[in-house]
Structure 1
Amino acid sequence: MATILIDKLLQAAVKQGASDIHIVVGQPPVFRLHGRMRKLETKVLEADDAVGLMKSIAPERAQRELQERGSADFGFAFGDLARFRVSIFKQRGFVSMVLRQIPNTMLTPQQLGLPDVCVKLVMRPRGLFLVTGPTGSGKSTTLASLVNYINENVDHHIITIEDPIEFYHYHKKSTVNQREIGVDVPSFSEAIRRALRQDPDVILVGEMRDLETIEAAISAAETGHVVFGTLHTNSAQGTINRIIDAFPGNLQDQVRTQLSTSIIGVVAQSLLPKIGGGRCAAYEILVVTSGIANLIRENKTFRINSAIQTGAKLGMQLMDDHLFRLWREQKVLIEDVLGKAQNPDDLAKRIYAAQQGLDDPTKEPDEPGMRKAGGHGH
């Protein structure tokens, strides 16, 4: 019965476009649709339902790891329809599962709304290119799209290091080797070090979680490769700081210098529900110019945000500016925009000013309710 159920569930998820399926004992299966959780109107799952569902898709290795460590991750293909990234874990002694759908069709950078400057940056011969944002903000999708762009346009050797493998890349113009942590190679840092002997042009590092991996990624970028990486940071400025702070104090100066010469760009992104269904991405973009490289080297990262504002003609933008545009173009609701903003108070003021029809968004709007108090309070 469990196998029938899992097929039906996966089919429904693909058909409805659910991003995630949650299997938890004590309630029916739950789909995440356009960011909202929806319970299915089927039977409440018992303990043995959850175990049956888990066993019907989890490889032996993952089932062992679940017993020994309490959780495991793996990827699996559902026919030609889709792939799923699965996390199985225990809670209150029961087995739970979350399946994230990885679409089979790859969107182009243009379809994702990624600015053209990103495509230009990744076609450079070397350097570190980071895509950052909270979990579920679409980082994997952005990276897959850029890797696919390279794959279709140039004859490179691309190595991806993932945990687990998400999008499958086929050899097009480029040759693609995808290595899975725990299956093909023990760790990210080990895989990067090995990759350098495998004649790569492009290395994708799924997650830069620890010092060793960050170090390996920076030196791979320095030695003449394009390295893609992801971090769970919310802004470009925060990303630079996070990398430097990962190192012990006595090494930080050296890392600032290394990072300033190797990093080429940062995209920080978040996903918002779109008015009328679906979702759209908001991007913060940092293009590392020689001026910005100097700020990194001289430990003046606090000035990066204003450098992004002045670098608009190079394709740079701050997250809040993009959010403001999405609101103005009536693609997203105010509350969703403010929920993702870096400075929600400032953005709220700007939106309020725009609603009042004041042309200059930098002007301080009069506080609502001030006028009644006689005069503007100046």
Structure 2
Amino acid sequence: MTDFDGTSDLLPDEGAKAGAGAPDTLKEPGVSFSGADPRRTEFDINDLLEVATEREASDLIITVDAPPMMRLLGDLVPMGTAKLTPDDCAALLRQMLRGPLVETFERHGEVDFAYSVSGLGRYRVNGFLQRGSVAIAIRIIPPRVRTIRELGLPDVVASLARRPNGLILVTGPTGSGKSTTLAAMIDLMNTEFAYHIVTLEDPIEYLHHHKRSLVNQREVGKDTRTFATGLRSALRENPDVILVGELRDLETVSTALTAAETGHLVLSTLHTCDTAQTIDRIIDVFPPHQQDQIRVQLAGTLQGVLAQQLVKRADGRGRVAAFEILVVTPAIRNLIREGKTYQIPSLLQTGGRYGMKTLEGYLRDLVAKGVITREEYDRRLKHLAESGAYVPGVSQPETAGMPGAGGYGSQGRAGPGR
């Protein structure tokens, strides 16, 4: 493997790039990209991925007029000084694209896919056009599924994964480790139960192997047309557990609720930042005349919400997930049914015996255990206060089952997140 010292000899010097121009075929979506020459650059995508993987980055970002950038501990770090030209970026994407993916990019100006390098790893790739030139965002997927214990997740995560049916949601911003948490939950089920597990992903990230369970992984755009069509099909595939990569639209949300209501365990994600907002987001997907019915349906099926974000570890070895945890109790079900989700934060404050936790309380426990610094705690609380998600002076009792020294990226990597 290649070492990286800030000026890796994998990367050409900036002077070698002078005079390169953008191919005419990349001015707008709907024009030809297939003519882009993957050899028309001194950069090699596999070499860049090797450096980023060795440095245990979470992401690699490629765009015009900047060097390749990798994300370390949440911050972007340049890989050398040589800036990429439009030809470089087009060639790097073309090195990864094959067959129908080229046509997809030509038609839409963006494409999502998984990319594998033998002996190195798997990667989730999004190629897109910006100002007529190619840019690429690559998520580096850890080489194996890490367990709930290895990640240092709270006990309630395993407890939720052992529920026989209902809906479990893992939420948070892009890059917050949602896919990693879900993969750990699926791995627990795969290890402990004789289930048929069907996953719908865009694209497939972590690869699960059959253990006690059978795991069938379907990729949107390759194995099924959309999340909604795949979910409808899954109901006819004798599943015990269905993982839906993202609840993107009304049809997918509606079918997921029906699946959870009919005895299946359904896991999915949303890009919401707290538990009450997650419930409101699901209800707001539906037109007003349906919302009362959806509140009743959601109150009867929802088992828990894990709203997570990643915070920097005190030892500098990566990041750890911090959670707001909602476990659905009879009192929570009543609030959902009655449209009083604004009262949920109060029940989070007093729900420690059920495994509930406010994000502020979770962060405070991480400080007490020495997992994160007081400065990181203060920084996160300032952000929460600015967003209105935290009221200073309100605290929560300690609860059992908090994480120890594990975490997302104890090897410097956050793991993928939707």
Query: Where does residue 211 of structure 1 map in the other structure?
Result: 250
Q: 1:175 aligns with which of 206, 214, 225?
A: 214
1:91-112, Cα deviation, whole Å (9 max, x unpaired): 1111111111011122111222
Q: Work out the CA distance in 2 between the residues paired with 1:217 and 1:83.
A: 28
Work out which of the residue numbers 360, 371, 384 in structure 2 matches 1:341: 384
Counterpart selection for 1:188 from 227, 248, 269: 227
Partner of residue 69, structure 1? 108
Secondary structure of 1:87 counterpart? strand
Question: For 1:182, what is the secondary structure of its paired residue?
Answer: coil
Structure 2 residue 185 is matched with structure 1 residue 142: no
- Give the Å deviation of 1:209: 0.9
Q: Does 1:255 align with 2:306?
A: no
- Alignment of 1:307 with 2:347, yes or no, is yes
Once the two structures are overlaid, the 10-residue window that deviates more, 17-26 or 2-11, is 2-11
* Equivalent position SS for 1:341: helix
1:67-122 deviation line (CA, Å, top 9, x unaligned) = 11111110011214321000001111111111110111221112222221221122
User: Residues 350-369 of structure 1 correspond to what in structure 2 (within 5 A)?
Assistant: 350=393
Matched residues in 2 for 1:180 and 1:47: separation? 30
Is contact 1:319–1:341 with CA below 8 Å preserved after alignment? no
Query: Partners in 2 of 1:224 and 1:3 — Cα distance?
Result: 55
Contact kept, 8 Å, 1:131 with 1:139, in 2: the verdict is yes
> What displacement does 1:343 show?
6.4
Aligned to 2:134: 95
- Relative distance call for 1:152 and 1:71 in structure 2 (3 A) is same
1:294 matched to 2:334: yes
Report whether the alignment pairs 1:153 with 2:153: no
Is the contact made by 1:273 and 1:336 (CA closer than 8 Å) also made in structure 2?
Answer: no
2:28 corresponds to which residue? none
* 2:168/2:303 contact within 8 Å kept: yes
State how far apart, in whole Å, the 1-side matches of 2:236 and 2:257 are. Answer: 16
- What is the rounded CA distance, in whole Å, between the counterparts of 2:388 and 2:282 in structure 1? 28
Offset of residue 334 of structure 1: 3.8
Residue 296 of structure 1: CA displacement? 0.8
> Structure 1 residues 31 and 255 mapped into 2: Cα distance closer, same or farther (>3 Å)?
same
Structure 1 residues 114 and 340, CA gap change in structure 2 (3 angstroms)? farther
Aligned-pair CA distance for 1:200 = 0.3
Amino acid at match of 1:161: L
CA change 1:349–1:286 in 2 (3 A) is closer
Q: Are 1:324 and 2:367 matched, yes or no?
A: no
Unmatched 5+ residue regions in structure 2?
A: 1-38, 398-418
Instruction: Specify whether residues 245 and 18 from structure 1 end up closer, same or farther in structure 2 by C-alpha distance, changes over 3 A only.
Output: same
Q: Which residue of 2 aligns with 1:356?
A: none
Q: CA deviation at 1:339?
A: 5.1
> Conserved in 2, the CA contact under 8 Å of 1:75 and 1:166?
yes
Q: Give me the whole-angstrom Cα distance separating, in 2, the residues matched to 1:96 and 1:19.
A: 17
Greater fraction of residues in helix? 1
Amino acid at match of 2:380: V
Structure 1 stretches lacking a partner, 5+ long: 354-358, 360-378
1:266-299 deviations in Å (ceiling 9; x for gaps)? 1000001222321111111111111211111111
Q: CA deviation at 1:346?
A: 8.9
CA distance in 2, matches of 1:221, 1:76: 32
- How big is each residue's C-alpha offset from its partner over 1:39-59, in whole Å with a ceiling of 9 and x where there is no partner? 111522122211211111122
In structure 2, the partner of 1:366 is none
Q: In structure 1, what is the Cα distance between the partners aligned to 2:366 and 2:387?
A: 15
In 2, distance between residues paired with 1:344 and 1:247? 25
SS at match of 2:44: helix
1:78-89 matches, within 5 Å, as 78-89=117-128
1:369 paired residue number: none
The range that moved more, 111-120 or 189-198, is 111-120
CA distance in 2, matches of 1:175, 1:132: 26
For 1:180 and 1:335, how far apart are their aligned partners in 2? 40
In 2, distance between residues paired with 1:37 and 1:339?
22
Hey, what's the Cα distance between the residues in 1 that align with 2:125 and 2:86? 18
Distance 1:162 1:3, change over 3 A: farther
Contact 2:161 2:188 in 1 (8 A): no
Q: Per the alignment, do residues 315 and 73 of structure 1 end up closer, same or farther by CA in structure 2, a change over 3 Å counting?
A: same
Q: Does residue 52 in structure 1 map to residue 62 in structure 2?
A: no
The aligned counterpart of 2:55 is 16
Instruction: Report the CA distance between 1:244 and its aligned residue.
Output: 0.9
C-alpha separation between the residues in 1 aligned to 2:368 and 2:307?
21
Aligned length: 353
Within 2, Cα distance between the matches of 1:319 and 1:300? 20
How far apart, in 1, do the equivalents of 2:268 and 2:77 lie?
32
